[in-house]
Amino acid sequence: MSLFIKLLKFLGAYKLYEKVLERSVRSGEIPEHVALILDGNRRWALGRGLPPWDGHRVGAEKIDELLEWCRELGIRVITLYVLSTENFKRPSRELEEIFRLLKEKALEYLSDRRIHRNKVRVKIIGRKNLLPRDVREALEKLEKATEGYRNLYVNIAVAYGGRAEIVDATRKIAEDILRGRLRVEDIDEETMEKYLYTSELPKDEPDLIIRTSGEERISNFLLWQSAYSELVFLDVYWPEFRKIDLMRAIRTYQRRERRMGA
């Protein structure tokens, strides 16, 4: 927590600052698609003498707050980087706890009235075949139960890698060429996008990508889709992420001139 925020809390002005910041953000352009790299769960836990999975659990609970903040601000698409293909190299105990947590949250959201009342569509992007069968089935049930919703799109990147996504898309294109469904001369950027995990979204390219924990790299996340995304790196661990952090990232986005390569 920054010294500035600590001072605000001490003076009792934190809520006032949050309201002023939100008023400022709402007066500008709200990004339609915000993607987040949820980094820092393990370091947050270890810094408190806790096992890594306690950090993942607190981080998972933070997602509930994030979804509500985004809905209130009018953000339509959210993509969350939860588990990368590289993360499968982590210790088996930690992976077991992450898988258990994924299943718990999927079943929780399956019966969560807020998900259904607010028409939240949940989609899993990544190589789901790498997940344990019970975890995969729980996630697919959630996808099926929400597939008709269109108010808010939430993509959970699990067993995900940007390079893997492009490889998978290329394989599907090759298969369709061999089956006569597609001609080589028809392949262009628009065609490629139709084969990506994000093809069904109303906006597949994130306007804004936020990474927590202070790390400043994209870590194989949405490599194709992020070509012109604005990047904001925050020096806060994901379990400590606050509404003002989201709004400050959006304010930074609003102050930039998006030239889209021009």
Instruction: For the chain, list the domains and their CATH numbers.
Output: 30-161+205-255 (3.40.1180.10)
Question: Which one of 39, 54, 204, 245 is the catalytic residue?
Answer: 39
Question: How remote is the C-alpha of 79 from its chain's centroid?
Answer: 3
Helix (H, G, I), strand (E, B) or coil at 16: helix
Instruction: Check 41, 64, 87, 235 and give the catalytic one.
Output: 87
Whether 39 is catalytic: yes
Is the pTM value of this prediction over 0.85?
yes
Per-residue pLDDT of the chain (262 residues; tens, 9 = 90+): 566 666 656 556 778 888 899 999 999 999 999 999 999 999 999 999 999 999 999 999 999 999 999 999 999 999 999 999 999 999 999 999 999 999 999 999 999 999 999 999 999 999 999 999 999 999 999 999 999 999 999 999 999 999 999 999 999 999 999 999 999 999 999 999 999 999 999 999 999 999 999 999 999 999 999 999 999 999 999 999 999 999 999 999 999 987 766 5
CA dist 193 and 208 (Å) reads 19
Answer whether 57's CB lies under 8 Å from 41's CB.
no
Whether the CB-CB separation of 21 and 248 falls below 8 Å is answered with yes
